[in-house]
Amino acid sequence: MNSELESTLKRWRAQGETIVFTNGVFDLLHAGHVTYLQGARQLGHRLVVGVNSDSSVRMLGKGPERPINDEESRKLVLEALRSVDLAVVFSAETPLELIRQIRPEVLVKGGDYNPEVKDSKSPTYIVGSQEVSEYGGKVAVIPFLAGHSTTAMLQKSRPKD
């Protein structure tokens, strides 16, 4: 963990603030992302967002054209949102190591995940849920805003044959 992140987390915790963590690609920001991040922020005092690096987006198999925006651009846009206090780029396939470093009081994912799933191979498993639960943190799921996704936006923007 870099020293700036470490000192920021230490300062927030000294002030008694609850740290919420979520992660994602956040490639083309849309209303679904914004309502999701607002909902996550309401679960605590500070919201830290793990942003997949360009290389980790490719590992996720999102498609050859992804990410559309580079990691620094995506981080900058997220940090401009009122609900986001800090965005941190991570390069691993999952944010597990970042979650271990941050030790959020609340871990949040979107509606296609299930906090009850314990099998880490399941597509609905929340990475870091076991670790956060073990030290007494909470795991929460925020429902999707129907009809909003980056994939849908990209499909809509493509010319029809």
pLDDT for residue 161: 61
In tens digits, what is the pLDDT along the chain, a chain of 161 residues? 688 899 999 999 999 999 999 999 998 898 889 999 999 999 999 999 999 999 999 988 877 888 999 999 999 999 999 999 999 999 999 999 999 999 999 999 998 899 999 999 999 999 999 999 999 999 999 987 665 555 555 555 556 66
Question: d(Cα 20, Cα 108) in Å, to the nearest integer?
Answer: 7
CA proximity to 29, closest of 96, 86, 79, 64:
79
pLDDT for residue 159: 65
Query: What are the backbone dihedrals phi and psi of residue 48, each rounded to the nearest 5 degrees, phi first?
Result: -110, 130
pLDDT for residue 156: 56
* Cβ partners under 8 Å of residue 133, min gap 6: 139
Question: d(Cα 93, Cα 87) in Å, to the nearest integer?
Answer: 17
Rounded to the nearest 10 degrees, how much is the dihedral formed by the CA atoms of 98, 32, 76, 22?
Answer: -10
pLDDT for residue 65: 84
- What domains can be seen in the chain, in order of their start residue? 20-154 (3.40.50.620)
Rounded to the nearest 10 degrees, how much is the dihedral formed by the CA atoms of 49, 52, 53, 54?
Answer: -140
The reply to whether omega before 67 is within 30° of 0 (cis) is yes
Please tell me what DSSP assigns to residue 82. T
